[in-house]
A and B are shown apart, each in its own frame.
Chain A
């Protein structure tokens, strides 16, 4: 366990479904991140939250909606997804945005859109 917990580990959803991914960390970190990892591509940063405030939205389609109720929890709400959205979604945290200690990643949620 890295200290960053993601649930569920696997998710299969239809294109008309609504689901949410959850990320939780108890490392005392103040920055949290959502990444998308597709096969043979670099990690794609989606959203950044620093001290609960969204500081970055990397041109992510509105069918992905993040929520950060506090520094320990991060959600990614999903609705009307497309098959090309199937990927591994990784959550990460760091002391704060721009911190030099690197990020701690969760194990990810493997999402399949059918």
Chain B
């Protein structure tokens, strides 16, 4: 069945370093992907999205990379800050269908 999974449940990085959070998906029909950030006590917040006709998209300090060949998605955070500490989820969908969320990766930023 469809599934979206994360390789690493917890990632610890030093403040100022770059972070890379990975996600694998299994539905080859998926054509739209989103990264969400969930801080403690809050609901998931949209960070960045990418459509399958792209392989890279940049936002403010964040970059999402999509490799459709191996069905892999990653979120890169530049110059990681303490405020980036949160759980990060990837989600995928194909046209007209519901979002399928991964289990999440905890990002801990060490000062």
Contacts and interface: CB of A to CB of B under 8 A. Distances in A.
A48 B99 CA distance: 11
Contacts of A98: 93, 95-98
B89 A43 contact: yes
Contacts of A101: 49
A99 B61 CA distance: 26
A2 interface: yes
Interface residues of B, number: 25
Interface string B34-50: 10100001111110010
Interface residues of A, number: 23
Interface in B64-100: 89, 91, 93, 95-99
27 contacts: A2-B45, A4-B43, A42-B4, A42-B101, A42-B102, A42-B103, A42-B104, A43-B89, A43-B101, A45-B98, A48-B98, A90-B43, A97-B98, A98-B93, A98-B95, A98-B98, A100-B32, A100-B93, A102-B36, A102-B91, A102-B99, A105-B36, A105-B43, A105-B44, A106-B43, A107-B41, A108-B43
Interface of B: 4, 9, 32, 34, 36, 41-46, 49, 51, 89, 91, 93, 95-99, 101-104
